[in-house]
Every structure is written in C-alpha cells, then in structure tokens.
Amino acid sequence: MHIIALLFIGFSLGTGVLLMIGNLLQLQEPHRCISKAAGFLLIIGLAGIQCQHLGILLNQFDGFHSLAYTGV
C-alpha cells in the first residue's frame, strides 16, 4: 500500500514542477502576473503538503500534529 502512496506523491510533485515550467515558458502578458503568482503559490502550497505526506509515510516526523502541517 505504501508503494501506491509513493507513486501518487511523486506524480503530484512532478506534475506541479511541469505546470510551473510550462507556465513560465508561455508568453508574458502584463495583466496576468497576479494570477500567475497566485497559481505558483497554490502549487507550492500543494507541493508542501505532499512533501509532508511523504515525511509521514517514511516515518520521518509526526506531521499531523505539527504546526507546519496545520499552517499549510
């Protein structure tokens, strides 16, 4: 069961990186800077949650009871 969770975490982190790279390679429009920044913050937040899930899965820390997990 752990292997499936690891695959999903890796897939979501890889997809987040590809979304950010694809967004950076598009043409820059002046009115879309705020929406791009908001999208980047959302992807970074979701990647942070997935990294904490990875730490929990690998028994590195008790993430559910930490302030970092509650804050994200």
pTM of the model: 0.75
Per-residue pLDDT of 5-38, as tens digits, reads 889 999 999 999 999 898 888 887 777 788 888 8
Tokens encoding 19:
């979304």
Which residue type does 10 have?
Answer: G
Per-residue pLDDT of 35-61, as tens digits, reads 888 889 999 999 988 988 888 888 877
- Residue-level pLDDT at 25: 86
Does residue 43 contact residue 19 with C-beta atoms inside 8 Å? Answer: yes
Task: Find, among 42, 46, 49, the residue nearest to 68 by Cα.
Answer: 49
